[in-house]
């Protein structure tokens, strides 16, 4: 189910400067796509992925993974933290079906050798996942949800209402990186950034928090390429004034298509 990457993008972003805010460990492939299209890319990760507060709890659940009927992954980060550790303990339990909250998470599962059994076809969020037929009648089923720290309870509450016994497991923590904002603020103030790519609401809030008050006006005028409609709505609430291009989903391929829709054609840098 790998999304189609636009063809013939060489030079389409020539002369364009983009800021990529994905976590450092996830930014490489997307940055390579942008660079291949001719863009100048600056990495400015706004989320740092750290280990869980209680790694023993995660380990205990992985040791008992065969007890569950469905494993739900709410993010690519959860996949990266859980699947390798689970497979290091032995083969994935044959009866354990895997649910992914969206396309990017499903792609990460595929890359780790375990394709998702349950994944929405569009609108990648808890509400869309809960519409899947396999998650309707769960009487007697045991479900484990792998996620980061915090987050909404709607998914678990709904699954419990449908009869499931639900276990939440914190697979990782999110933190704001301790970065010098100057490499970001300097080109922003100079008007030398064509767009910033952001895939989540938390990323957008962190981005605003990491910029100094002096750099905020320039930030809020800069065009955005966003990974979901609700994040675009948040951007307006936070005061962003420039153009906002919303991708079909937060996968690298969809984000690249959105960047090309906003900036394709390059520009003359003289």
Which among 217, 226, 219 has a CA at the least distance from the CA of 193? 219
Q: 17-47+177-263, what's its fold?
A: Rossmann fold (3.40.50)
Beta bridge partners of 142: 165
| Domain locations along the chain | 17-47+177-263, 51-174
Phi, psi of 160 (to 5 degrees): -65, -40
- Please, which residues have CB within 8 angstroms of residue 180's CB and are 6 or more apart in sequence? none
pLDDT in tens, 183-223: 999 999 999 999 999 998 999 999 999 999 989 999 999 99
Residue 3: pLDDT band (50, 70, 90) is very low
pLDDT of residue 1: 41
Beta bridge partners of 224: 196, 244
pLDDT in tens, 56-94: 999 999 999 999 999 999 988 999 999 999 999 999 999
Correct CATH for 51-174 of 3.30.70.330, 3.40.50.10090, 3.40.630.10, 3.30.360.10: 3.40.50.10090
Q: How many percent of the chain have pLDDT more than 90?
A: 79
Phi, psi of 232 (to 5 degrees): -65, -40
Residue 10: pLDDT band (50, 70, 90) is confident
- Tell me how crowded residue 91 is: count the other CB atoms within 10 A of its CB: 8
pLDDT of residue 55: 93
Which among 174, 135, 176 has a CA at the least distance from the CA of 154? 135
Beta bridge partners of 49: 174
pLDDT of residue 9: 81
- Say if strands 165-175 and 48-50 run parallel, antiparallel, or are unpaired: antiparallel
Phi, psi of 153 (to 5 degrees): -100, 0
- Contact criterion met (CB below 8 Å) for 84 and 68: no
Q: CA 141, CA 35: separation in Å to the nearest integer?
A: 46
Q: CA 65, CA 174: separation in Å to the nearest integer?
A: 24
pLDDT in tens, 90-127: 999 999 999 999 888 998 999 999 999 999 887 667 88
Question: Do the domains spanning 17-47+177-263 and 51-174 agree at the CATH topology level?
Answer: yes
Q: Model pTM?
A: 0.80
Statement: residue 2 has pLDDT above 90: no
Q: CA 17, CA 192: separation in Å to the nearest integer?
A: 7
pLDDT of residue 150: 75
């Amino acid at each position: 189910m790998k999304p189609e990457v636009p063809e013939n993008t060489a030079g389409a972003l020539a002369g364009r400067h983009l800021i990529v805010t994905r976590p450092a460990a996830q930014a490489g492939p997307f940055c390579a796509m942008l660079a291949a299209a001719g863009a100048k890319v600056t990495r400015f990760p706004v989320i740092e992925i750290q280990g869980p507060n209680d790694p023993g709890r995660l380990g205990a659940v992985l040791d008992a993974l065969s007890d569950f009927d469905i494993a739900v992954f709410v993010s690519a980060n959860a996949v990266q933290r859980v699947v390798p550790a689970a497979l290091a303990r032995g083969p994935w339990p044959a009866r354990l079906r895997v649910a992914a909250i969206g396309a990017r998470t499903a792609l990460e599962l595929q890359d780790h050798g375990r394709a998702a059994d349950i994944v929405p076809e569009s609108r990648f969020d808890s509400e869309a996942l809960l519409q899947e037929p396999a998650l309707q009648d769960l009487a007697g089923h045991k479900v484990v949800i792998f996620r980061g720290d915090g987050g909404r309870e709607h998914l678990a509450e709904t699954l419990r209402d449908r009869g499931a016994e639900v276990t939440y497991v914190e697979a990782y923590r999110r933190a704001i990186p301790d970065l010098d904002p100057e490499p970001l603020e300097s080109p922003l103030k100079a008007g030398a950034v064509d767009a910033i790519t952001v895939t989540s609401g938390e990323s957008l809030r962190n981005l605003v928090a990491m910029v100094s008050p002096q750099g905020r006006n320039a930030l809020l005028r800069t065009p955005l390429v966003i990974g979901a409609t609700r994040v675009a709505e948040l951007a307006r609430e936070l005061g962003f004034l420039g153009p906002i291009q919303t991708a079909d989903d937060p996968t690298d391929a969809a984000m690249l298509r959105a960047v090309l829709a906003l900036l394709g054609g390059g520009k003359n840098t003289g």
